[in-house]
Amino acid sequence: MARPLLTTQTEQEHSVQQKTVGLLVFVLRYDDLLAADSRILPPITREGAKYEVGRAPEVRPAALAGSTLLLPDPFVSRAHARLVRRRGADVLEDLGSKLGTFVNGERIEGPRALVDGDLLEIGHSLLVYRLVEPRVAVRLASLPQGIQHGPTRTLCPELASMSADLERIARTDQPVLLLAETGAGKEIAARFVHETSGRAGPFVAVDCGAIPDHLVEGELFGHRRGAFSGAVEERRGRIRSAEGGTVFLDELGNLPESAQASLLRVIQEREVTPVGGERAQKVDVRWIAATNEALFSEDSRFRADLRARLAGYVALLPPLRRRREDLGFLVADILGKTGLSSVSITKRAARALFFGELPGNIRELERALSSAAVLMGDGPIDVQHLSVVAARAASRASARAEGSAADAPPADPPTGEPQRSSSKRPTREAIEAALARTNRVQGEAARLLGVHERQLTRWMDAYGIPRAKKSSSEA
Determine the Cα–Cα distance for residues 369 and 110; give it in Å rounded to an integer. Answer: 35
- Identify which has the larger pLDDT, 418 or 371: 371
Determine the Cα–Cα distance for residues 272 and 262; give it in Å rounded to an integer. Answer: 9
Decide which of 146, 178, 210 is a domain's last residue: 146
| Beta carbons of 324 and 119 less than 8 angstroms apart | yes
* Rounded mean pLDDT, 291-303: 77
Decide which of 269, 297, 316 is a domain's last residue: 316
- Identify which has the larger pLDDT, 325 or 137: 325
Same domain, 332 and 449: yes
Query: Does the pLDDT of residue 218 top 70, yes or no?
Result: yes
Q: Could you list the residue range(s) of the whole structural domain that residue 226 is in?
A: 157-316
Q: Mean pLDDT, the chain, as a whole number?
A: 82
> What pLDDT score does 396 carry?
59
Same domain, 100 and 15: yes
Query: Does the pLDDT of residue 7 top 60, yes or no?
Result: no
- Judged by average pLDDT, the poorest of 39-43, 56-60, 128-132, 420-424 is 420-424
> What pLDDT score does 413 carry?
36
Decide which of 100, 116, 146 is a domain's last residue: 146
In a domain? residue 390: yes
Q: Percent of the chain at pLDDT above 70?
A: 81
Q: Percent of the chain at pLDDT above 90?
A: 49
**Helices 387-403 + 361-375 axis angle, to 10:** 110
> What pLDDT score does 389 carry?
67
Residue 441: pLDDT band by 50, 70, 90 thresholds? Answer: confident
3-state secondary structure of 435: helix
> What pLDDT score does 411 carry?
35
pLDDT digits (tens, 9 = 90+) for 19-71: 788 889 999 999 999 999 898 887 777 788 888 999 987 645 445 566 778 89
- Judged by average pLDDT, the poorest of 33-47, 99-113, 397-411, 450-464 is 397-411
Same domain, 342 and 280: no
Same domain, 183 and 295: yes
> What pLDDT score does 370 carry?
93
In a domain? residue 23: yes
Query: How far apart, in Å, are the Cα atoms of 453 and each of 66, 364, 419, 424, 442?
Result: 52, 33, 11, 15, 7
> What pLDDT score does 424 carry?
59
